[in-house]
Amino acid sequence: MENRKKTFVEDIERTLYDIRNEDRSAYKSQAGLTEAVVRDISARKHDPEWMLERRLESLKVYNSLRLPTWGPDLSELNIEEIVTYVQPDAKMAGRWEDVPEDIKSTFDRLGIPEAEKVSLAGVGAQYDSEVVYHSIQDSLIQQGVVYTDMETALREYEPIVKEHFMRLVPPKDHKFAALHGAVWSGGSFVYVPEGVHVDIPLQSYFRLNAAGAGQFEHTLIILEKNSSLHFIEGCSAPKYNVTNLHAGCVELFVGEGARLRYSTIENWSRNMMNLNTKRALVEKDGIIEWVSGSFGSHVSMLYPCSILHGEHARCEFTGVTFASKGQNLDTGASVIHAAPYTSANISTRTISKAGGKATYRSAVKVTPNAHHAKCSVNCESLMLDDISRSDTLPVMDIQGDEADIGHEATIGRISEEAVFYLMSRGISEEEARAMIVRGFVEPIAKELPLEYAVEMNNLINIELEGTMG
């Protein structure tokens, strides 16, 4: 008991995210997943015929697949109780003034409009199942950059969407990819032409307000040769006493010599099942950089995958996960070396406290033709008491002899020697422990986008309380 007191760390402050609006949705689909529900969503979206066919095929795949037999327990999820489509009482606007006041005030509290003024080249804001606000600077439009919601992209850039949609994440990949393919709604579409560098980040924020609902946004980003982009994704929801579900999908196509940084701050509520799928295809000399922060949700299963398809393609993955009471956060990364001279660097930090469970799970595959591939995996875990749990589960599939692959994992608690040393220098025990926790997170936290001031502060300003026992 004394140790638990000494290493007590406050939960990330969630008051901001738990403010909920009255449910004023214009329409909700029936709970559950049936062909009628899928057809209804498709009709309301005015899908082309081929998209309806893909939705229905995804539904068949969903019904044929079982839940994963590994990872966190998903038995609490009953799809028959989940509303898969919630249409807010709002139309998409290009000015914040035209967004309904209650929805606008939510994004105001989250700091999105202010961030747009200061440090963003474009913003998309989704509320429940629909995008309610979207903007992009005129200078980017003049360079041929496209940044819009997926429904608009399906109408105006149909051939591109048809070619790329769920190509990297096919419905047969797993049960929740199939679910996504059947009921997807909202999300962002980005296209960056050859040689264009988007120097200021674009940001999409996904807010789920409705209780007992699911959010299934689709993000599709295409970077042509020698272009670059930093894309920021944020998500949050208020807490309810019923299960909510998030099963989004992210597909990233990084062209030859292109560079994409994809930053995510995930701050879902503790009743959320976060079962998201993200995958990138990287061509010759291309670079994908993932920066991932997982702080919320009841259960998470998230392992961004990088397919290094061209010679000298690179992947950098930086992640931090914070699991507290009632949380089972199963996160990590996956890399497929499918070409010679490809390289990847995976670096993560996990913290668990108050009985929370944090699992790092990775998969590294080197195909026979990917000679001279290099991959370094480093996972460090910190447990703040004796009732929490942390696991590291790496998988290495090396199919060639000419590869340089390394994995290093450490799991431990706050060093009492370090605390004693700091206290001998006049620092209080509470501050000493706080300094150690902040120092542990700092290498990852510094990579998170500064544009997310609220989330950054919630992470960095971890405050430690305790007694001398």
pLDDT of residue 101: 85
Beta bridge partners of 318: 291, 347
Tell me the C-alpha distance between 299 and 302, whole Å: 10
Question: Who's near 457: CB < 8 A, 6+ residues apart?
Answer: none
Do the beta carbons of residue 254 and residue 248 sit within 8 Å? no
Do the beta carbons of residue 325 and residue 355 sit within 8 Å? yes
- How does pLDDT run across 370-386, given as a tens digit for each residue? 999 999 999 988 888 88
The number of domains in the chain is 1
Average pLDDT for 48-71:
95
pLDDT of residue 11: 54
Residue 464 in domain: no
Please say if the pLDDT value at position 8 is more than 60: no
SS3 track for 264-290: EEEECCCCEEECCEEEEEECCCCEEEE
pLDDT category of residue 2 using cuts at 50, 70 and 90: very low
Average pLDDT over all residues of the chain? 86
C-beta neighbour count of 64 within 10 angstroms: 10
Tell me the C-alpha distance between 208 and 212, whole Å: 10
Angle between helices 416-424 and 429-445 (to 10 degrees): 120
- How does pLDDT run across 334-371, given as a tens digit for each residue? 999 999 999 999 999 888 888 899 999 999 999 999 99
Q: Position 37: which residue type?
A: V
Higher per-residue pLDDT: 172 or 135:
172
CA nearest neighbour of 43 among 85, 89, 92, 93: 85
pLDDT of residue 462: 42
Nearest 10 degrees: Cα torsion 299, 263, 209, 251: -80
Residue 316 in domain: yes
Average pLDDT for 436-445:
73
Which percentage of the chain shows pLDDT scores above 70?
Answer: 90
pTM over the 0.85 mark: yes
Residue 436 in domain: no
CA nearest neighbour of 346 among 299, 394, 387: 394
Residue 261 in domain: yes
Do the beta carbons of residue 247 and residue 84 sit within 8 Å? no
Tell me the C-alpha distance between 462 and 100, whole Å: 34
Domain of residue 152, residue span: 15-415
Residue 373 in domain: yes
User: What is the C-alpha radius of gyration for the chain, rounded to an integer number of angstroms?
Assistant: 22
Average pLDDT for 198-224:
90
SS3 431: helix
Residue 292 in domain: yes
**DSSP code of residue 128:** T
pLDDT of residue 421: 87
pLDDT of residue 269: 80
pLDDT of residue 454: 43
pLDDT of residue 247: 93
Tell me the C-alpha distance between 13 and 461, whole Å: 10
Tell me which of 4-18, 88-102, 144-158, 423-437 is least confident: 4-18
| Total number of residues shown for the chain | 469
Average pLDDT for 160-184:
96
pLDDT of residue 377: 93
pLDDT category of residue 123 using cuts at 50, 70 and 90: confident
Please say if the pLDDT value at position 84 is more than 50: yes
Tell me the C-alpha distance between 177 and 173, whole Å: 6
- How does pLDDT run across 274-321, given as a tens digit for each residue? 999 999 999 999 999 999 888 888 999 999 999 999 999 999 999 888
Residue 88 in domain: yes
Residue 111 in domain: yes
CA nearest neighbour of 205 among 151, 277, 134, 279: 134
**Residue 370 Cα to chain centre, angstroms:** 28
Please say if the pLDDT value at position 225 is more than 60: yes
SS3 20: coil
